[in-house]
Amino acid sequence: MEKDARQSSVETADGGGLDHAGASFVWRHSTPEEQGVDSRDLTRALRPLRDDGIALHSLIIVRNGDIVLEVYAPPYDKDTLHNVKSVSKSIMSAVVGIALQEGMLAGLDQAVHSFFPAYVADDADPRKRSITLRHLLTMTAGLDLDENGPIWTDIVASDDWIKAALARPMSADPGGRFLYSTALTHIMSGILTRASGQRLLQLCRSRLFDPLGIGEVQWRQDPLGYDFGGAELFMKPRDMAAFGLLYLNGGRWNGRQIVPASWVKESTRNQMQGVEADDGYGYWWWRDLTGDIGYRASGWGGQHIVVLPGLNMVVAANFGDPDGLRRWFGGFDVAAIGGHPLPPNPEAVQELQALVSSIQHPTPASVPEPPPLAHDLAGRTYRLDAADERSPYKAIAFDFDESGQAWLTVGTENGTHRLAIGLDGLYRLTPTGSFGRLPRDNRVALKGQWHDEHTFAMDWIDVGDPNHARLIASFDDDRIVVIVDVEPAGERFELRGTCAP
């Protein structure tokens, strides 16, 4: 699932407060040269992420088990829960392999309808009874589905997503054509729940997250309480890297086989031979980015775990830019990485560290003198006209005080929230509870500046979501117009309001 859908509830898994993945696992850090990577190459690749407007949230490179690069762009840090979107499909794939080994599932040729017999009518297209678990895992079920289109919108507007997905007509024979659809992974969420007697999140915790030491995660649910298979899993960047390292090591972690080695190999090889498809694809793993040297878990907006076995390397990344990882790899020649340590290069290491520091700790700008209107806005509340359906806002107000601090107050059906705005080019964070894109414990980050005497612009981030918004507020006497651009979703809507008496 690549954009937000209607959700009804959430379950949160809170771990034991581990700082590192794995109860006895501690992340090690090395200089890049110690692990055969040239710091100058990393600097050349990283600089455009800072200077060219690429919305980097986090980036971790692990080589030979050691972290050689770790960078977070404010308002993000190592403890940020991030929506990994369809990366969760690859995590589900691991759990399927575990369920097969433990006998919860009989095999990949097990029929899907056997888990939901009431959802496949006797007079239904007989091809539906031929859909197997393998077809779900390879996105070749043949059901007439889409991704982020009207069919998916109707499915998530229903009270039973699995029933609505299985009710779709057949558009191809099972196994004949690749058609990417999160609906298929959500069906698997229901199957794993019924086969194990546990919610998907509980199954992931006991078989995968706990053994890896992955603590707090959040996962949205559908109206019936099934965890959202294939998307809307929120986890921390280092936990993403730990999952990639698990696969790099053939499913082993701290001497224990967590995921069957045979499943790691089978699920990450290209399963598209003889299938109409544009890219290589395994069992919810992609093969197209790095050719024959690796595979990746990828989610909408730029969420990735890249596993490069030939280089003994893992890359975990969160972007707010669908093209972010490609642009990163475009400046970083992985083929140049050698198999032996490089001579120490303290100057290059220092330059890389300085660049990372400039990204993580940007210098505040001086706050210019605000226009007279900034002071006049005190005490004004703008009641918004019939708002765009994509906007939850009913009223907004601004407050600029003498110290140069600013606040935006937004009113919704569920209450009012006063959000701090940074005027020095740096984001200010406001905890907002259930207000935001995460299921709970939200934080909103804002920064802004005056464009002219009547126009104030703001950058808005629901911390942990791939999307970010640019708001341009224009004031004209007692009227306000706010243009909202949401990227990378590519959405624009407009809010209009009148100053309340």
Whole-model pTM: value is: 0.92
- CATH superfamily placement of domain 9-358: DD-peptidase/beta-lactamase superfamily (3.40.710.10)
> Is the pLDDT at 11 greater than 70, yes or no?
no
DSSP conformational letter for 205 = I
Residue type, 9: S
Angstrom CA distances, 491 to 339, 389, 468, 469, 483, stand at: 45, 12, 11, 9, 11
Q: What is the pLDDT of residues 156-182, one digit of tens each?
A: 999 999 999 999 999 999 999 999 999
* Residue pair 133/188 in contact by the 8 Å Cβ criterion: yes
Q: For domain 372-499, give its CATH number from 3.40.710.10, 3.40.190.10, 2.40.128.20, 3.40.50.1820.
A: 2.40.128.20
Determine the pLDDT at residue 164.
96
Distance between start and end Cα atoms, the chain: 43
User: Taking the domains of the chain in order of start, what are their residue ranges?
Assistant: 9-358, 372-499
Separation CA 78–CA 75 (nearest Å): 11
Q: Which two tokens stand for residue 328?
A: 């990163």
Q: Are 404 and 454 in contact (CB under 8 A)?
A: no
Task: Provide the mean pLDDT of the chain.
Answer: 90
pLDDT value of position 332:
80
3-state secondary structure of 413: coil
Structure tokens at 3: 């954009």
DSSP for 206-246, please give it.
IIIIHHHT---EEEEE-TTS-B-TTS-EEE-HHHHHHHHHH
The structure tokens listed for 78 are: 């190592």
What value does the mean pLDDT take over residues 379-384? Answer: 92
Q: Give the pLDDT band of residue 6 (cuts 50, 70, 90).
A: very low
The predicted model gives 111-124 an average pLDDT of: 90
Tell me the C-alpha to C-alpha distance, in Å, between residue 86 and each of 286, 305, 393. 11, 11, 29
